[in-house]
A and B are shown apart, each in its own frame.
Chain A
Amino acid sequence: MLTVRGLTKRYGDTEVVRGLDLDVRRGECFGLLGPNGAGKTTTLRLLLGLIEPDGGSIELAGIAVPQHAREARMKVGVVPQMDNLDPDFSVRENLFAYGRYFGMEKAAIAARVPELLEFAGLASKADAQISQLSGGMKRRLTLARALVHDPDILFLDEPTTGLDPQARHLIWQGLRRLIADGKTIVLTTHFMDEAERLTDRLAILDHGRVVAEGAPRALIESHIEPVVVEVYGEGLENWTRAHASQVCQRFETVGETLFCYTDNADTVIAALKHAPALRYLHRPSSLEDVFLKLTGRDLRD
Chain B
Amino acid sequence: MTHFFRLPRLSWRFVPVWQRNYLVWKKLAIPSILGNLADPMLYMLGLGYGLGSLLPDVGGMPYLTFLAAGTVAYSTMNAATFEVLYSSFSRMHVQRTWDAIMNAPLTLDDVMLGELSWAVSKSLLSGLAILAVIWGLGLYGHFWMTLWIIPVVALVGFCFGGMGLVMNALSPSYDFFLYYFTLVITPMVLLCGVFFPVSQLPLPVQAVSAWLPLTHAIDLARPLVVGNVPDNVVLHVVALLIYGSLGYVIALALTRRRLLK
Contact = CB atoms under 8 A, between A and B. Distances in A.
Interface of A: 11, 48, 50-51, 70-71, 73-74, 76, 78, 80, 82, 84-89, 93, 97-98, 100-103, 146, 149
Contacts of B99: 80, 84
Given A93-B23, A97-B20, A70 B102 contact: no
Given A50-B260, A84-B96, A84-B97, A100 B105 contact: no
Contacts of B261: 11, 51
B100 A86 contact: yes
B46 to A, nearest CB: 34
Interface residues of B, number: 22
A70 B100 CA distance: 14
Nearest to B13: A103
A87 to B, nearest CB: 6
A78 B99 CA distance: 11
Contacts of B17: 101
Contacts of B41: none
B105 A80 contact: no
B2 interface: no
Nearest to A50: B260
A11 B218 CA distance: 46
Given A11-B261, A86-B20, A89-B24, A101 B96 contact: no
Main DSSP-derived SS at the B contact region: helix
Nearest to A96: B23
- In the A-B complex, the 9 residue pairs with the smallest Cβ-Cβ separation, listed nearest first, are A101-B104, A84-B96, A78-B103, A100-B16, A84-B100, A88-B24, A70-B105, A73-B105, A74-B105
Given A97-B16, A100-B16, A100-B19, A85 B100 contact: yes
Interface string B73-107: 00000000000000000000001110111111111
Contact of B101 (A70, A71, A101): A101
B102 A84 contact: no
Given A84-B95, A103-B13, 15 more contacts: A50-B103, A51-B261, A70-B106, A73-B103, A73-B104, A80-B99, A84-B99, A84-B100, A89-B24, A97-B16, A98-B104, A101-B106, A102-B104, A102-B105, A103-B16
Contacts of A76: 103
A76 B102 CA distance: 12
Interface of B: 13, 16-17, 19-20, 23-24, 27, 95-97, 99-107, 260-261
A120 B73 CA distance: 49
A71 B97 contact: no
Given A84-B97, A84-B99, A100-B20, A51 B260 contact: yes
Contacts of B16: 97, 100-101, 103
B40 to A, nearest CB: 25
A139 B103 CA distance: 16
Contacts of A87: 95
13 contacts: A48-B103, A50-B102, A76-B103, A80-B100, A84-B95, A84-B96, A84-B100, A86-B20, A86-B100, A97-B16, A97-B20, A100-B16, A102-B104
Given A93-B23, A97-B20, A86 B95 contact: yes
A70 B99 CA distance: 15
A151 B62 CA distance: 63
A258 B182 CA distance: 64
Nearest to B102: A50
Given A51-B260, A70-B105, A73-B105, A98 B100 contact: yes
A31 B99 CA distance: 23
B254 to A, nearest CB: 16
Contacts of B23: 89, 93, 97
